[in-house]
A and B are shown apart, each in its own frame.
Chain A
Amino acid sequence: MEQEGSQPAAEQQDPAFAAIVATVERLDELGIWAEDGRAVVEPASTFSWS
């Protein structure tokens, strides 16, 4: 059961937010997961070209 205030509930009530979340979730198609579900790309959390 979803907790009150969780994202799926918010998405149902807000189509604009649902569209944004869908755009982000589509990033799964970029090969960041292996077929067996392993996360194979680390985040560029310290992004810099320096």
Chain B
Amino acid sequence: MPEEPLHFQTIRQVGERIRRRELSPVELTTAIIDRSERLDGPLNAFITITREQALAQARSAEKAILAGHDFGPLHGIPISLKDLYQTVGVKTTGGSKILADWVPTTDATVTRRLSLAGAIVIGKNNLHEFAFGATNENPHYGPSRNPWNRERITGGSSGGSAAAVAAGLGYASMGSDTGGSIRLPAAFCGIVGVKPTYGLVSRAGVLPLSWSLDHCGPLTRTVEDAALMLNAIIGHDHADPASTSRVTPDLTTALDGKVQGLRVGVLREYLGENVNAEVASAVRTAARDLERLGTRVEEVSVPEVAYGDGASIGILYGEAAAIHERWLKTHRDQYGADVLERLSQGERMTATQYLKGQRARRVLVDRFKRLFEQIDVLISPTVPILAPTIPESRGNAARAQLLGFTRLFNVLGLPTLSVPCGFSTTGLPIGLQVAGRPFDDITILRVAYAYERQAGWHSHRPAV
């Protein structure tokens, strides 16, 4: 089998070459930035490319390696960050006009941890304005476009992150997920996206959308690369009130552990008539693949998932309006139309409606605690539809479906990922969603890793 071009290799592969001193971080970073500057125009995956800062970081990484220091698997690896992550000396726009010129003086905790792990930040990715939307059609910076078909949306809100990783413009990107904003674009762009358990990855220094629903996580081309990214960023952070004080495990050591005997639930409510036939077929085939790997696959039914949207909206809209309260008074005319509409709706929600969302959350959490006594992981399509065209995505029908299967898992706070599970006849990627028990992130990664190796969809590349 011919070797992958450098830009499509994995973090594991290029990291090993860097540590063997066969590949220089400066050469690698230069190559990836050159490629990003050459190809990003039509994709619009980046708001800012940080050539000078990245090359300075790469020179430091190279110097450390030559001095015999090894910061780990991310040492010298070019990555990017959704433009919600604070970066010292580099503007952090949030995809907004309001923060178009904001240059933070502190890094987000995740930015700092990735830097300590030796990763090289080559730029800041395009996103749906303030992460409050699922199409990534940004009125201020333009839409990000799907590398598999540029007429189609990437999905959002971490759409620039997904487009960059899928197109080989970096080895990973950090996204955020409040209702599916990592998993949805990962599914539409044919890559892996992980929303870890609530509390596992610090959100400190990442512009918030909804305090109790926001999660930070990586988008990568393989499950192993996602685990390598997570290893560098998980762990307690006193700056994030939700951060867990649990001892966090190494997520790569048990990755290739056995999956035989694991109980896999297929969620009936997410495979009904509301699902595109090709998406449903790909997910059913994935279930059979998992069965061949020795897992015990069974259909499960949780009728209460029908209330996931209501719980999510009740919580999200109120928290988002609270977060934006000041700017809604002082900079109201600087928001894009769709985000302002949602924030205005949030302003009009009542406290009792917000608390109804939180009360429903308790019921749903209890229901899923019982479900996960029966099963180890739950699978479903990540998104019920294929990536729509940009004009199609403006319709209410498409918008309602984009987050229909993902937002429940933000309400639940459970670890949930999307892994590629096939392509439509028109060549559009399809994602398999895998959810697990709280803080059992390793099991969803292990199942996805075994599936990925069996199915091989991760080796397909868009023609960019």
Interface residues of A (CB under 8 A from B): 7, 10, 14, 16-17, 20-21, 23-32, 39, 41-45, 47-50
Contact = CB atoms under 8 A, between A and B. Distances in A.
Interface residues of B, number: 37
Say whether chain B's binding surface is mostly helix, strand, loop, or mixed. helix
Nearest to B348: A10
Contact of A24 (B341, B356, B413): B356
Nearest to A47: B212
A47 B361 contact: yes
A41 B359 contact: yes
Given A16-B345, A49-B413, A50-B245, A30 B438 contact: no
A20 B345 CA distance: 8
Given A49-B438, A50-B199, A43 B310 contact: no
A23 B358 contact: no
Contact of A48 (B199, B310, B357): B199
A20 B243 CA distance: 31
B358 A43 contact: yes
Interface stretch (B116-124, B177-185, B261-269, B311-319): B311-319
A27 B307 contact: yes
Contact of B198 (A16, A32, A49): A49
A32 B359 contact: yes
A42 B355 CA distance: 9
B246 interface: yes
A39 to B, nearest CB: 8
A33 B360 CA distance: 11
B304 interface: yes
Contact of A25 (B242, B356, B439): B356
Given A17-B345, A24-B349, A43 B355 contact: yes
A44 B353 contact: no
Contact of A27 (B349, B350, B359, B439): B359
A43 B313 contact: no
Contacts of B358: 43-45, 47
A27 B308 CA distance: 9
23 contacts: A17-B348, A23-B313, A24-B356, A27-B307, A27-B311, A27-B357, A29-B307, A30-B304, A32-B363, A41-B359, A41-B362, A42-B359, A44-B358, A44-B361, A44-B365, A45-B358, A47-B198, A47-B358, A48-B198, A49-B197, A49-B199, A49-B438, A50-B245
A25 B355 contact: no
